Structure 1
């Protein structure tokens, strides 16, 4: 048995490859370095879904208009849920199916619903989508109530591209299991979103900011981090189950954050604090755990980038879903087309057969 299914091959895919030893991520035959910060989100989605980028961009724009109507169902009970649970409840309203229209609606929904829920929690009205805009620009426009700066769009675009797919992670595996039953794409995406909300998967970027807030000043980094490690605490934003070297997504997001900072959207003192914490944490981790490769992961710079875009930290997992949903849909469709019903075996470790109860 392999606990956690480490090293178990459960599917063949043409969508992404994670090379943990070399620190390399391939998405549909393209290196992450050639995609993040270089192309639009819809162009990467088109690679995963094997379709024309311009046609897909138009289809997702139209889908944003369709799913926007579901925000009228938001009530007090839904707003009292956590952002990701509210997102899941709204997405459960979408019709299930395996067709392109269902796929486009599922890709559009997290951006529309996250923006709308964010505004409703602020006492503001949701902003209708503009299907003439790119998906990323429209997500920020629906959130801000105004057109974002090009640097802001570029930063979020780099993030969505960076997280769009990442091998057979927990949420993507959940999507493929449900898809293998032919339950439909919506059911598969809802299963994936439920997996993503777990703190061991998609819920870590927010706590990175909590850590930075607790440290407060660069001069406090050494003492705070030493104490945390001494108490056996996990340093958020460091280490990864797969990567044995630096997470390539961290470098892509650090580059995107640098461009955002150069445009004046990142407070210099916040960036200085983050860089000091990163350098100190890497040094202390190497000293304390020399046999374990614990490098900066995607969560560290995700937190800083999304914070700099003025997105609420409680909604970070929803923004993650807005990027990863493209991968979920692609994997679900690939499973339907090429895979079988997933039915692994388990090893029974309970009691042996005993006499019937009452005898």
Structure 2
């Protein structure tokens, strides 16, 4: 017993020493890299490099054409100056506002219709939509043993990383994974769209059980239910939800389903698809891109910021206290010390984000139904005063409209959707757009994307190791 204990202690000490050495090595090399890998900003200007694939005026570099979606946030005058305008978003040529409002007026679910539209380029008839819904329903349940072998046995702190791993694992359950014919890619796309609600729900349940010691609740998806209904059913321990909750989540999915070909994750789909790789690799890459805090992960930033606000503002009905908190945020003295008010501003939209306007209207109704009017007013205050505070504190004088992340943060909070699920929900919605863009790249792109980088490292003479 004593010998075993001493051996265990010795091995533990060795492991600690090895980890300490590894940390010291990486810290030392990181300092060196921070010196050697720096490229002066002046070189980017001198060589006319489009950093971040952006032009000097902030617009995106045109790298392709698409019929799937269009985002309009500004115009140009005859002199080429950018003019701010109200934002517009189109799915296959249809104004998303019209799609959204029709679903609200008819009190029906619409995400599956939007998915059909994005994939096939036309609005479905009633019979076509019914057939499509039946097909998606048949894809809701994961392959036999998948949840146990690929999700529950290897839980992750990040549901987005678990989602990417699950997508890649689907390759092994496909009898024809590498065929990039339109027919086969469409089959794979429908399977992934059907599976995503279970993938995110089970990934979340595995995390709760493994890391928080909470009860494991695994509800089977129901084929007849919509995407939004299945998500709420599988996320909640009791599987219960109300019709208004499911329809509000459905509307949120509609607004997140597509956003043109230039956003980071959709461009990643085009980029990776252009190499001729399989569907699972392309979609996993898109999930990885969306996870980033500068892209899809921004919705979590809003939720965390609001949590910090509630912790530090004694009276959320007092606008003066809210403003004091936001000033501290901009000065880098509160929240994550980034100096940013999350949920404001957008890379394309200048005056307004149409998704935020639509979601705000539904969020207000939800607030009234759940007695959350005071909480909703905090979001309204941030939207109304954000631009003025940016000008006052940072000297930034430009429109700072609410983006979709601001009010989606409120909706998720009101629906008691866990923070961990915010970005995976975004991915579940955007998957429809990703798959449509992958099909478009296969059908009409047909060319390997290969941008250029200019080498700016001076040439050096090799020095033998004994002379270094």
TM-score between both structures, scaled by the size of structure 1: 0.92
Q: CA deviation at 1:76?
A: 6.3
Question: Is the 8 Å Cα contact of residues 387 and 399 (structure 2) preserved in structure 1?
Answer: no
RMSD: 2.1
Counterpart position of 2:372? 267
1-structure distance, mates of 2:339, 2:154: 33
Q: CA deviation at 1:277?
A: 3.0
The SS at the match of 1:142 is: helix
Q: Relative contact order: is structure 1 or structure 2 higher (C-alpha 8 Å, sep ≥ 6)? A: 1
2-structure distance, mates of 1:187, 1:59: 23
Whichever of the two has the greater Rg, that structure is 2
Q: CA deviation at 1:262?
A: 3.4
1-structure distance, mates of 2:463, 2:384: 62
Question: Is the 8 Å Cα contact of residues 91 and 109 (structure 1) preserved in structure 2?
Answer: no
Q: CA deviation at 1:281?
A: 2.1
The SS at the match of 1:63 is: coil
Q: CA deviation at 1:180?
A: 0.8
The SS at the match of 2:71 is: strand
1:128 aligns with 2:212: no
1:345 aligns with 2:438: no
Query: Which is worse superposed, 332-341 or 230-239?
Result: 230-239
Counterpart position of 1:187? 281
1-structure distance, mates of 2:365, 2:265: 30
1:3 aligns with 2:97: no
1-structure distance, mates of 2:187, 2:164: 19
2-structure distance, mates of 1:109, 1:160: 15
Question: Is the 8 Å Cα contact of residues 18 and 24 (structure 1) preserved in structure 2?
Answer: yes
TM-score between both structures, scaled by the size of structure 2: 0.72
1:116-265 matched pairs, under 5 angstroms: 116-120=202-206, 121=208, 122-144=214-236, 145-167=238-260, 168-216=262-310, 217-219=316-318, 220-231=321-332, 233-264=339-370
Q: CA deviation at 1:77?
A: 6.3
> Does the C-alpha gap of structure 1 residues 16 and 75 become closer, same or farther in structure 2, counting only changes over 3 Å?
closer
The SS at the match of 1:19 is: strand
Counterpart position of 1:62? 138
Work out which of the residue numbers 414, 429, 437 in structure 2 matches 1:308: 414
1:44 aligns with 2:114: yes
1-structure distance, mates of 2:102, 2:148: 36
1:109 aligns with 2:195: yes
Partner deviation per Cα, 1:75-130 (whole Å, 9 max, x = no partner): 66632431111122222211245423211122123211112233342422211111
Counterpart position of 1:35? 99
Q: CA deviation at 1:357?
A: 4.0
2-structure distance, mates of 1:140, 1:38: 23
